[in-house]
């Protein structure tokens, strides 16, 4: 077995520890009286799974709190087998955990758990998203240049959301579940699942303030259209309960709409 073959065998012996895979991974590994080669592979398995579980606990602390450490560890172990980590940065790992949880049979009764995981992932990505000031070239023009747009070009404006922003919809009050499980939460701990679904936007403002804002259906529709890059003319043709002249300015003011481009007709 050359080095590459052994490294592949080792990986399988860690993440898919069937007896055959373990034996293969232990090929050429020295065992001693106190520690067999399988024991030694087991030390690495514990270290690897422990490290990754700890990383994911950091990204999904509410999920871990809701299901408990043991259950979370078990879930992570299955997740790792199905969705290997493809980046040297452990902070990039976990994007597919919400999808995995939704298929994870033992978690079926916790119907809201995949959405809680999704909210935590969006929080994590917003926290680490590129700061607009750090971009060497902005992917859009700043809103301050809006005034310079000729009236005949206004229909072609495509507004752009802050790069940290993500929209999500849930059939459950996940923002409340998330909120009551924060360390600094004070108040009524109970969440009534019958409170129903919610539309959310998760983002980070210019002063590094992390935000989870609740949106009504109109606001979600409006911001989704913007996120999809629809032209202002098309958005103006959509029906909202408020006129666009009232919907738009607050988002620009708070920095959620961070810039614009001019699209093509």
Partner 1 sequence: MSSYKFKGHEIQGAGLGLRSSHYQEIFDTKPDVPWFELLSDNYMSDGGLPIIRAEKIREDYPVTLHGVGMSLGSTDPLNTDYLSKLKALTDRIEPTYVSDHIAWVSVGGKYTHDLLPLPYTEETLHHISDRISQVQEFLGRKILVENPSSYMTFDSTDMTEAEFIKGITQRTDCDLLLDINNIYVSAVNHDFDPYEYLKGIPSDRVKEIHLAGYEKMDNYLFDTHGYQVHPPVWDLYRAALKQFGAIPTLIEWDTDVPSFTTLRQEAKKAEQQLKAFS
Q: In what order do the strands lie in the sheet with 210-215?
A: 166-170, 198-204, 210-215
- Separation between Cα atoms, residue 202 and residue 175, nearest integer Å: 10
Distance in Å, CB of 255 to partner 1, minimum: 15
Annotate 48-67 with b (16+ C-beta within 10 A) or e (fewer): ebeebbebbbebbbbbbebb
Q: How far is CA 24 from the centre of its chain?
A: 36
- Separation between Cα atoms, residue 205 and residue 111, nearest integer Å: 31
Question: Side-chain half-sphere of 45: how many Cα atoms within 13 Å?
Answer: 22
Question: Is 134 an interacting residue with respect to partner 1 (CB under 8 A)?
Answer: yes
Question: Is 95 an interacting residue with respect to partner 1 (CB under 8 A)?
Answer: no
Rounded to a whole number of angstroms, the distance between the first and last alpha carbons of the chain is 61
Instruction: List the one residue from 16, 68, 82, 130 that touches partner 1 (CB under 8 A).
Output: 130
Q: What single DSSP character describes residue 61?
A: H
Distance in Å, CB of 214 to partner 1, minimum: 24
Contacts of 131 (CB under 8 A, 6+ apart): none
Structure tokens at 248: 């738009």
* Interface characters, 230-249, with partner 1 (x: CB under 8 A): --------------------
**Nearer CB in complex with partner 1: 31/229:** 31
**Which residue carries 């990505």 as its tokens?**
125
Instruction: List the one residue from 3, 144, 186, 194 that touches partner 1 (CB under 8 A).
Output: 3
Distance in Å, CB of 203 to partner 1, minimum: 12
Instruction: List the one residue from 17, 23, 24, 37 that touches partner 1 (CB under 8 A).
Output: 37
- Separation between Cα atoms, residue 149 and residue 158, nearest integer Å: 12
**Nearer CB in complex with partner 1: 6/71:** 6
Question: Is 91 an interacting residue with respect to partner 1 (CB under 8 A)?
Answer: yes
Distance in Å, CB of 165 to partner 1, minimum: 14
**Nearer CB in complex with partner 1: 3/148:** 3
Instruction: List the one residue from 71, 99, 110, 127 that touches partner 1 (CB under 8 A).
Output: 127
Annotate 190-207 with b (16+ C-beta within 10 A) or e (fewer): ebeeeeeebbbbbbbeee
Helix (H, G, I), strand (E, B) or coil at 76: helix
Distance in Å, CB of 75 to partner 1, minimum: 17
Among the listed ranges 82-90, 148-156, 184-192, 225-233, the one in contact with partner 1 (CB under 8 A) is: 82-90
Question: Is 211 an interacting residue with respect to partner 1 (CB under 8 A)?
Answer: no
Residues 180-199 that bind partner 1 (CB under 8 A): none
Binding site for partner 1 (CB under 8 A): 2-4, 6-8, 10-11, 14, 28-30, 32, 34-35, 37, 39-41, 43-44, 47-48, 51-52, 54-55, 84-91, 93, 127-131, 134-135, 204, 208
């Amino acid at each position: 077995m050359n080095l590459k073959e052994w490294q592949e065998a080792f990986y399988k012996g860690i993440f898919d520890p069937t007896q055959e895979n373990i034996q293969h991974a232990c090929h050429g590994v020295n065992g001693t009286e106190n520690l067999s080669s399988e024991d030694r592979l087991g030390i690495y398995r514990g270290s690897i799974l422990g490290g990754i579980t700890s990383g994911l606990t950091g990204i999904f602390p509410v999920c871990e709190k809701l299901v408990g450490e043991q259950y979370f560890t078990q879930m992570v172990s299955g997740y790792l087998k199905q969705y290997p980590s493809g980046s040297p940065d452990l902070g990039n790992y976990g994007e597919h955990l919400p999808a995995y949880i939704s298929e994870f049979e033992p978690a079926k009764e916790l119907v809201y758990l995949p959405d809680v995981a999704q909210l935590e992932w969006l929080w994590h990505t917003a926290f680490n998203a590129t700061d607009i000031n750090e971009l060497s070239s902005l992917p859009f023009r700043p809103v301050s240049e809006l005034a310079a747009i000729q009236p005949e070009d206004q229909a072609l404006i495509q507004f752009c959301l802050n790069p940290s922003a993500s929209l999500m919809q849930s059939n459950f009050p996940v923002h409340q579940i998330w909120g009551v499980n924060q360390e600094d939460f004070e108040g009524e701990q109970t969440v009534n699942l019958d409170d129903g679904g919610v539309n959310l936007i998760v983002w980070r403002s210019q002063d590094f303030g992390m935000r989870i804002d609740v949106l009504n259906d109109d606001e979600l529709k409006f911001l989704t259209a913007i996120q999809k890059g629809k032209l202002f003319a098309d958005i103006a043709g959509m029906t909202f309960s408020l006129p666009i002249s009232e919907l738009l300015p607050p988002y620009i003011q708070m920095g959620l709409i961070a810039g614009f481009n001019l699209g093509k007709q």
